[in-house]
Amino acid sequence: MNIRQRTLGALGLLAALLLADPLRAERLVTDMTGRQVKIPDEVRRVYAVGHCIPMVGAVAPDKLANNFRLNETAKRFLSPQFYEGKVVPGVNSRMLSDEELVKLAPDLVIMEAMPGAAERADRLSARLQAPVLLIDQNMHSYKPAFAFLGGVLQRPEQGRALADFVAAHLDPIEEKARSIPADKRVRVYYAEGPDGLSTNPAGSSHTQLLDFVGGLNVAQVVNLPDEGMSSVSLEQLYLWQPDLILTWTPAADQLTTWKAVVESPLWQPVNAVKGGKVLQIPWIPFSWFDRPPGSNRILGAFWLARTLYPEVFPLDLTSLTREYFRLFYHQEISAAEVSYLLGLSTPQAAARR
């Protein structure tokens, strides 16, 4: 076969592949903000922006093109479909670079609906030459969000299963939480940042889980327009006197924030510290409370409700956690592994075991 024949054959094959490629066919969908967007008939590769990663992975981990940079412990608790072959941010970076975004080559982008998101979605769509859909990650919107993603990603049965789990196990928590009298609500401070002196107030997406389960956020600070962390002082903590402190830091496995709160003599005048009521938020494989404030909070709702109000919420955490991991992370875990995960919230007790 001469060069001309080989070239014509290759061109013919390419033409056949292009004509047969279902990605060339499109469908019109309406996203969760009412935007009408044309997307491929068959979605194969999804760029989930930030907070959307756990939710997209719950519906279709094989179609997820990217993920956070995960350590080996986190990977143990996820299906390999969540992390194998995914594009991740560079070391010491939380966001994908322009070069990494180009490597993604997604045929669909899923982004969180928030103020100004429509304009950002249009800009991102033009930049990546890919359609962008907005989803609502408010905790009250998980059922329609999973149903929507199930349809978009051609996994309707999985979307329904996730929505049914929310209806059966998450919705009753909020209903019961509403009945907790104001004077019986646990007063909580959410300690963020390496020194614990950053936080988010009630009404922020970053603390919605606390509001959801009936906790009282003591932080009397302004919810910043971009919902970033607000700085507070120890003097304010002395006045607020929370019953319980929840700690979070990106370096959760190093217990940076928890140690800063528990080990500093300057925190000892705070009753929660003095009384040993400082908890590290479980963080494997993603934080159970916030950052990202995504569907990973569903698991955190069981843990936090049971922690704050054990008599109101006598939940079987072992059973719920195992079911959650199976359904949302596509990974079977044992009762012993659940005990390990739950034990992360009490580092002192874990150290004694």
For 45-81, what is each residue's pLDDT tens digit?
999 999 999 999 999 999 999 999 999 999 999 999 9
Please report how the helices 317-328 and 156-165 are oriented relative to each other, as an axis angle in degrees rounded to 10: 160
Residue 109 corresponds to which tokens in the numbers above?
């982008």
Whether residue 210 contacts residue 202, with contact meaning beta carbons closer than 8 Å, is answered with yes
Label residue 95 by pLDDT band (50, 70, 90): confident
Mean pLDDT of 259-263: 97
* pLDDT at res. 6: 46
Report the distance separating Cα 92 and Cα 302, nearest Å. 31
Q: Is 346 helix (H, G, I), strand (E, B) or coil?
A: coil
- Exposed/middle/buried for residue 225 (C-beta within 10 Å: 0-12, 13-18, 19+): exposed
Which pTM does this prediction carry?
A: 0.91
Residue burial 152-168, b: 16+ Cβ < 10 Å; e: rest: bbebeebbebbbebbee
Q: Is the pLDDT of residue 111 over 90?
A: yes
Q: Is the pLDDT of residue 121 over 60?
A: yes
